[in-house]
Structure 1
Amino acid sequence: MNDQIATTDTTATEWWRTAVIYQVYPRSFADSDGDGIGDLPGITSRLPYLARLGVDAVWLSPFYPSPQADAGYDVSDYRGVDPLFGTLEDCDRLLRDAHALGLRVIVDLVPNHTSDEHAWFRAAVASPPGSPERARYIFRDGQGPDGTLPPNNWKSVFGGRAWSRWPGESQWYLHLFDRRQPDLDWQHPEVRTEFEDVLRFWLDRGVDGFRVDVAHGLIKAPGLPDWERQASMVGDGTDDGVNMGPMWDQDGVHAIYRDWRRVLDAYPGDRMMVAEAWVRPQAHLARYVRPDEMHQAFNFDYLLARWDARMLRRVIDGSLAAAASVGAPTTWVMSNHDTVRHTARLGLSKPGVRPKGIDSKAEQPDEALGLRRARALAFLTLALPGSAYLYQGEELGLPEHTTLDAAYRQDPAFHRTNGAEVGRDGCRVPIPWIADAPSFGFGPGPATWLPQPDGFAHYAVDQQEDAPGSTLELYRAVLRLRREYGLGNGQLRWLDSGPDMLVLDNGPVRVVVNFGFGAAVLPAGRLLIGSVSSEQPEPEIIQGNSAMWLAVPGR
């Protein structure tokens, strides 16, 4: 039986409702000066590549001044550029060049915590307990007769306890992440005023929006009650307890985002915010994108879904229904800088499971199978109504670096767990541009802040440019067709299919995905493009682990 699902407001014109947004991880995208770390001038030099790819906007992970204890997510100054990445003038030039190419720019905002080198925290630890300087953070006296026990039993997302004491200090401060990332107290009016001013600083410079880090974590439950479980930002697709507890998804966060929305609405050009909010169920996520709050929220249920037709259909239906209930678009995301690349996840014996990193001691993905499935999943993702996010390198089919030596690992999660959690370095390796160049063309010399595996040469941009059937050319073609047929602003209708198949129509395009290994009969429709090849030797057959877009008969 066919189902008709209204998926988006087809009268809305805001760009962010249907945009394809490309995540750039600045230190790993392009290095202009040869120090082994990507930078803003390097990104600017590659903007024509992104424009040709066919994306609508670029999201930049943090480039602010930072001691880099957590790759820039420990910010010491929210109104500057770290010299590692360039200058404010370089940022202004990037914005001008991007806008000239028709690309919008979203920047990362990290409001849950600062660096321990932020001027506010330095003032806090230089001031006595009870001082105004300390009130901006969450300082508490310890438990026990001499205060040597932490104020509660909360654990850090990165491992170990979530409380530390500054050397020589009696009080403890909260850090849900690394000890060098003290949590701000968002009940304090000065914190709220400061971040509204930070928003205006970047809006005045011309940014088009903000990705809000840990958007569900700013408010903690009153009294900071004990929580026996491990605090977790990211689930594995099976843990119903992810982001439950007194440190996540408290009702008070929504007043903050209503205030921020008023700031953004005062600027022209449809400025936007997208929430990184790992919350369940979807109805809770929808609260972040009510009409007076954020514009988008990342759909992590989709990222966490396995290579399973029924599961994906349930996630898609639930996501669309929840978003529609508040008049918001749904976002679709397969990978980001915090997760193992989906090319690797889909090549595991349990395809789609989300390990917290892969090293040489773990199961090694089937690289060819993972890529084949990743290409098929892209066909599904980019056909769905709403907005889609791409993580740098996925348009190349880039695999996870699964054999990175422990000596090179920098993720604080790896070090705080003594290696029990492999961490996120494997998905953050600098991407390859030129197969036979030093650092595969990432920079002018051989230096890279994380070593690249030899196999990256096969995936380099110059090896795929204008090469029929390459993953890069496939993405370019699919993005062009998505735009041509208006799929981001369409309506989805499921068609009957077998247990290992998904078949849906979005306007004039029929999407067919075969999740099984065996070939299956293809429904009616003229072939537009296929994930395995642009050619179709058997016009009535779809191969296993592949996808096709067809023209709906009569449309």
Structure 2
Amino acid sequence: MTSFRPAPGWLADAVFYQIYPQSFADSDGDGVGDFAGITERLGHLAWLGVNTVWLNPCFVSPFRDAGYDVADYLAVAPRYGSADGLAKLVDEARRQGIRVLLDLVAGHTSDAHPWFTASADDPDDDRYIWAPEGCPDGYVPSPGARPGAYLPNFFASQPALNFGHARQDPAEPWRLPVDAEGPRANRAALRSVIDHWLRLGLAGFRVDMAASLVKDDPGRRETATIWTELRHWMDRAHPEAVLLSEWGDPEVSVPAGFHADFFLQFGGATDGLALRSLWSNGEGTVNEDWDPLDCFFDASGRGSPRPFLDAWQRACAALDGTGFISLPTANHDFSRLNCGPRTAEQLPVAFAFQLTWPTLPAIYYGDEIGMRYVPGLPDKEGSVLGPRYNRAGSRTPMQWDDSANAGFSTASADRLYLPVDPDPARPTVAAQRADDTSLLHLVRRLVALRTSRPELGSAGSVEVLHAGHPFVYVRGGRYLVVVNPRRDGASHRLDGYGAATGARPLEVSGVRVDGDTVTAEGFSYGIFALGR
């Protein structure tokens, strides 16, 4: 394994919070969230206890893919405000103990980016991948004077930057090696973009589609080499900054140089399976290629924590303490925790697990109050990916209070980026702040518990006592955790572990410890301090 400088000390204690900026808080009444709106709401995040914020892309863009089609990496999109507004957000967040990460789209640009418009007119420009004649399968016809077609990375409006091909193919003689002039220029540009923003006080980046750089790259070896080179530079130039990858395969991405990777809906051979088998029922964001799964955090009790546990154990062995795995509640690409048949009473047990497991927790905005995936929304900036895959339902406005537009914006409802959840019983921050028994208060207490007890954090050991219903484990030899996500009760005898009669409840709902037996009601959780 390549030797890197150890990750910054702050990362081990990170509690991430993902903000979809156009849906979080609108300060100027135009119906779209902005930097000033986020700045005004930082008090909510500080009160909640999160210490690291990740913003979805906020660069200049035509927004055919909600900002993941970048037209200028060094300028912020006017819809969000100005560069000064972003600087103010970063400074105010720092004062409240919160670091800010940006989202970096490394593998492609918008077709409106000046790099691409120049390349589309210059047959000698190799910054993008061009087939000089015809239009091979998967390519898009040239929009400029240059003949042939270009390779997109996702949508047709997102041409792939040329980081080279790992293998040559006589059928595609235009393939360039990774050390050709165009790929070298792109590697240098990637470093320059990162350097620019880190020098302005950002704490790092979440990297979109991080595995997509080098094409025809078995095992992603050449792509990993690019990130390894960049990590060594960052260790020297910006040792306190971090890179998080949207790779979904920590066993590959962390040894390549990333400080952390997310368990995602997709990924390596079983890492995508790990998250889908944990708590995604796929409502509204189902890829037709995915096999249906019984997830563990489902009322039926048919699922098991074992697929997640196996993937996590294997990834930990591969990482060997060199980086981290992050476990998100959801994100902008897949359904929220509250989706489909899952109900509000099932959410507390999910947070009890997420915030006591030795991964870095990532809370998607609104999940802390139980916002739901809203079905049936129209396509918005490329949100629809298939007949059963519409990401808009996870991108609706944050629900702050019971005022117009749930306190998100003063704009008329027809001008909102996306409609507010129409359910009259929708949860709000204000209502849950006023209710000590709410999900919001529970999440806050769980974050505080994790923060104040290192054994419950990323570095504490974990001993699994029962990988079923209930799921039972011990953190740091000092804290017993019991979670039962099904509607039916369950119990487990702690044979061979020793009497837990000294267990002192720290955060408990529906779980009791009697001697060597734990008994858990349906949808229950318990965190206990052990007396041994």
Query: Could you say whether these structures have the same fold, taking a TM-score greater than 0.5 normalized by the shorter chain as the test?
Result: yes
Matched, 1:304 2:276: yes
**Residues 104, 510 of structure 1: alpha-carbon distance in 2 compared, 3 angstrom cutoff:** same
Partner SS, residue 477 of structure 1:
helix
The alpha-carbon deviation at position 28 of structure 1 amounts to 0.6
- List per-residue Cα deviations over 1:66-90 (Å, max 9, x = no partner): 0001000000000111100000000
- The amino acid of 2:473's aligned partner reads L
- List per-residue Cα deviations over 1:195-252 (Å, max 9, x = no partner): 111111001101111101100011102xxxxxxxxxxxxxxxxxxxxxxxx6x85211
More strand by share: 2
Distance in 2 (CA, whole Å) between partners of 1:383 and 1:484 is 12
Query: Are the equivalent residues in 2 in contact too, given 1:303–1:335 (CA < 8 A)?
Result: no
Query: Are the equivalent residues in 1 in contact too, given 2:248–2:261 (CA < 8 A)?
Result: no
Distance in 1 (CA, whole Å) between partners of 2:40 and 2:311 is 38
Within a 5 Å distance, the mapping from 1:472-487 to structure 2 comes to 472-486=440-454, 487=456
**Residues 342, 429 of structure 1: alpha-carbon distance in 2 compared, 3 angstrom cutoff:** same
The alpha-carbon deviation at position 17 of structure 1 amounts to 2.3
Q: What is residue 501 of structure 1 aligned with on the other side?
A: 470
Find the partner of 2:143 among 143, 166, 174: 166
Give unpaired runs (5+ residues) of structure 2: 1-5, 165-182, 265-270, 278-294, 297-303, 495-499
Query: Are the equivalent residues in 2 in contact too, given 1:21–1:388 (CA < 8 A)?
Result: yes
Matched, 1:395 2:358: no
Distance in 2 (CA, whole Å) between partners of 1:269 and 1:256 is 18
Within a 5 Å distance, the mapping from 1:52-451 to structure 2 comes to 52-127=47-122, 129=123, 131-132=124-125, 135-142=126-133, 147=134, 150-151=135-136, 153-154=137-138, 162-166=139-143, 170-187=147-164, 188-221=183-216, 250-267=220-237, 270-279=240-249, 285-290=250-255, 293-300=257-264, 301=271, 302-305=274-277, 306-307=295-296, 308-324=304-320, 327-344=322-339, 365-368=340-343, 371-404=344-377, 408-412=378-382, 414=384, 417=386, 420-435=387-402, 437-446=403-412, 447-451=415-419
Distance in 2 (CA, whole Å) between partners of 1:403 and 1:540 is 42
- The amino acid of 1:72's aligned partner reads G
Distance in 2 (CA, whole Å) between partners of 1:411 and 1:373 is 31
Q: Which has the higher contact order (CA 8 A, sep 6+)?
A: 1
Partner SS, residue 177 of structure 1:
coil
- List per-residue Cα deviations over 1:431-464 (Å, max 9, x = no partner): 11011x1111002333421111222653110110
Query: Are the equivalent residues in 2 in contact too, given 1:114–1:184 (CA < 8 A)?
Result: yes
TM-score, L = length of structure 2: 0.81
**Residues 411, 86 of structure 1: alpha-carbon distance in 2 compared, 3 angstrom cutoff:** closer
Distance in 1 (CA, whole Å) between partners of 2:376 and 2:89 is 34
**Residues 46, 533 of structure 1: alpha-carbon distance in 2 compared, 3 angstrom cutoff:** farther
Identity %: 32
The alpha-carbon deviation at position 378 of structure 1 amounts to 1.4
The alpha-carbon deviation at position 258 of structure 1 amounts to 1.9
Partner SS, residue 316 of structure 2:
helix
Find the partner of 2:507 among 498, 504, 529: 529
The alpha-carbon deviation at position 268 of structure 1 amounts to 5.2
- The amino acid of 2:360's aligned partner reads S
Q: What is residue 28 of structure 1 aligned with on the other side?
A: 23
**Residues 444, 193 of structure 1: alpha-carbon distance in 2 compared, 3 angstrom cutoff:** same
Distance in 1 (CA, whole Å) between partners of 2:382 and 2:510 is 39
Partner SS, residue 28 of structure 2:
coil
Query: Are the equivalent residues in 1 in contact too, given 2:203–2:240 (CA < 8 A)?
Result: yes
Name the stretch that deviates more: 22-31 or 440-449: 440-449
Query: Are the equivalent residues in 2 in contact too, given 1:18–1:388 (CA < 8 A)?
Result: no
Q: What is residue 242 of structure 1 aligned with on the other side?
A: none
Query: Are the equivalent residues in 2 in contact too, given 1:299–1:319 (CA < 8 A)?
Result: no
The alpha-carbon deviation at position 277 of structure 1 amounts to 0.5
Query: Are the equivalent residues in 2 in contact too, given 1:209–1:272 (CA < 8 A)?
Result: yes
Within a 5 Å distance, the mapping from 1:509-528 to structure 2 comes to 509-521=479-491, 524=500, 525-528=503-506
The alpha-carbon deviation at position 178 of structure 1 amounts to 1.1
Distance in 2 (CA, whole Å) between partners of 1:550 and 1:425 is 39
Distance in 1 (CA, whole Å) between partners of 2:246 and 2:159 is 19
TM-score, L = length of structure 1: 0.78
- List per-residue Cα deviations over 1:310-343 (Å, max 9, x = no partner): 333323323332332x622222223111101122
Give unpaired runs (5+ residues) of structure 1: 1-10, 155-161, 222-245, 280-284, 345-364
**Residues 31, 533 of structure 1: alpha-carbon distance in 2 compared, 3 angstrom cutoff:** farther
CA RMSD, aligned part only? Answer: 2.4
The alpha-carbon deviation at position 288 of structure 1 amounts to 1.8
Distance in 2 (CA, whole Å) between partners of 1:318 and 1:375 is 27
Partner SS, residue 426 of structure 2:
helix
- The amino acid of 2:204's aligned partner reads G
- List per-residue Cα deviations over 1:255-304 (Å, max 9, x = no partner): 2112221332234562100110034xxxxx323212x7111111223432
Q: What is residue 547 of structure 1 aligned with on the other side?
A: 525
- List per-residue Cα deviations over 1:355-406 (Å, max 9, x = no partner): xxxxxxxxxx2252xx3333212111111123111111110111100232xx
- The amino acid of 1:19's aligned partner reads A
**Residues 479, 456 of structure 1: alpha-carbon distance in 2 compared, 3 angstrom cutoff:** farther
Distance in 1 (CA, whole Å) between partners of 2:406 and 2:54 is 23
Query: Are the equivalent residues in 2 in contact too, given 1:434–1:457 (CA < 8 A)?
Result: no
Q: What is residue 467 of structure 1 aligned with on the other side?
A: 435
